[in-house]
Amino acid sequence: MAAEGAPDPRRPLRRGRRAAAAHGGVGEGGATGPLLRLAHPRDEAGTRTSRPVEPPLLVPSVDQRYLPFDLRVFEAKNLEEVAVAIEDMVVRGAPAIGATAAYGMAQAGLQGVDLKEAGDRLRKTRPTGNDLFYAIEYMRKARAAGDDLVVAADRYAQEDIDRCRKIGEHGAKLIRNGIRILTHCNAGALATVDYGTVMAPLRVAKEQGRRFFVYVDETRPRLQGSRLTAWELLQEGIDHAIITGGAAAAFLGRGEVDLVLVGADRIAANGDTANKIGTYGKAVVAKENRIPFYVAAPTSTIDFDLASGDKIPIEERSPQEVLHLDGHPIAPKESPARNPAFDVTPAKYITGIITEEGIVKPGELRSGAAKAPRKKTSAKKRR
């Protein structure tokens, strides 16, 4: 339900970058990413203070549940609200979840919450994506080194922006004039701090003057493709069309797609990749039809502690997401449903992985071509 005074809910918002910035829905780089910055209080003159030293110490983010029809900002006032925002998909996308967790840890520290307790709570939110655990460890090390937690969270966010921009520069080399690209789910600025992973090569290629076309897989059950990716493409003026998930194989099979480009939530050391449910099937069909299949992800998404993808925990979300659409039932109430949020694509179906270090083959992740710090992860399957 749109907020009072919101645009007509039947028509998606269409804002340029400057207009979106005025609504707080963009990162500092000007793209359509979530805010992901600890809100600072202002002094009597309205000037932002050097750091948040008094309540409310808000962690703001674009509430992605309402896009593309309503642009709202959710402000988490404490650790539990940050955790629930991640669980309820107010914020989503592995890098964006990582940055949100970093600011949540900073907020918790400033509010006197023990950082171990904060990290333990955040670890329980969504088990599949690796950036969440990477961010928690990053902030733990910052505290151990005596760093200012807000400065550390800001640094984490800036590093994510820099990684995504470099992914864009490397990935844009794959995009030639006239190419037709298939995407899945949303791996744009909304899923990161800025630029996106999949969206970054598209943005850079457009900046370089290339023309191309994007097929946007709607991505059931939460429709992140049709709701979010299509919205981001509109902001950039990139030609696209939304297709159903079931239609993707037909488009691949009859030669209407030249490149498949997807994001990742966790990549194992051998290149096996967990991404939004439905990715695996597209990879198999792409290989059958000799269509390149690339994964775009920062090295923070690579989990070198997992030898292969069969060790990646897969989140099972509520069956209600399958049985309802926009709050309305779409199936017999007596029928049960299963709702795994992710699947794992074996490395043999992946042509290459685009990281900030360059484009590598899945088997090259340990060679040094794509580096990431080793870290502890203790993800448990969420019931």
Residue positions annotated with a catalytic role? 265
* Contact between 351 and 291 (Cβ < 8 Å): no
Strand order across the beta sheet in which 240-243 lies: 240-243, 213-217, 180-184, 259-262, 293-296, 352-355, 358-360
DSSP characters for 77-121? -SHHHHHHHHHTTSS-SHHHHHHHHHHHHHHHHHTT--HHHHHHH
Q: What's the gap between Cα 36 and its chain centre?
A: 12
- Bridge partners, 266 (sequence order): 274
* Contact between 160 and 99 (Cβ < 8 Å): yes
Q: Give the alpha-carbon dihedral of 13, 18, 21, 27, to 10 degrees.
A: 110
- b/e per residue, 101-110, with b = 16+ CB within 10 A? bbbbbbbbbb
DSSP E strand stretches across the chain: 59-62, 73-76, 180-184, 213-217, 240-243, 259-262, 266-268, 273-276, 293-296, 302-303, 324-325, 328-329, 342-345, 352-355, 358-360
How many Å apart are CA 320 and CA 184, to the nearest integer? 22
Tokens of 183: 């995407």
- Bridge partners, 15 (sequence order): none
